[in-house]
Amino acid sequence: MIIMKRICTTINIQASPKDVWDVLTDFEEYPHWNPVIYRISGKLQPGEILDMEFKNRNYFKINLKPLIMNIEVNREIRWKEQFWIKGFLEGEHLFRIEEMADGSVHFINCEKFSGILMPLFLYVIEKDMENSFNIMNEQLKKMCEKRNTHVDA
């Protein structure tokens, strides 16, 4: 039996899917706006490995080297990471950009955890991780809407 748990957060952003994509994929700018993934580098292509530093609200820091599973321009970034030993704790992260009827975006920031250590890991950090995702979403919204305002001006 595989034990899995998802932590998903969403936010509506008054910007185009392209604007949201451009902010999400501009890794050099992450330290200026993203308080959760404050460093990220690598090629954004399936099969490539990213190098990132993740920090939650309580300053729990971890270096990650996730494998990119899927890229759909202006729509989705999905990666998978393994913590320590395969099967102990694994995560699959998803950023999804869904275009709304009015041209704005419904953004989904989601992590699916599995492995034998998952219940203990999430007992310790689940609420903080959800809060961290929400904080990142709010900052993404600010960056995209600010960018959208400058483009329209």
Take residue 73 and report the two structure tokens written for it.
């321009």
Measured in degrees and rounded to the nearest 5, phi and psi for residue 68 equal -75, 125
The pLDDT of residue 81 is above 80: yes
Look up the pTM and report it: 0.86
Count: domains in the chain: 1
Domain that residue 33 falls in = 4-152
Position 113 scores a pLDDT of: 78
pLDDT (mean) for 31-53: 93
| CATH code of the domain covering residue 71 | 3.30.530.20
Position 10 scores a pLDDT of: 97
116-131 per-position pLDDT tens digit: 666 556 556 666 778 8
Question: What end-to-end distance do the CA atoms of the chain give, in Å?
Answer: 55
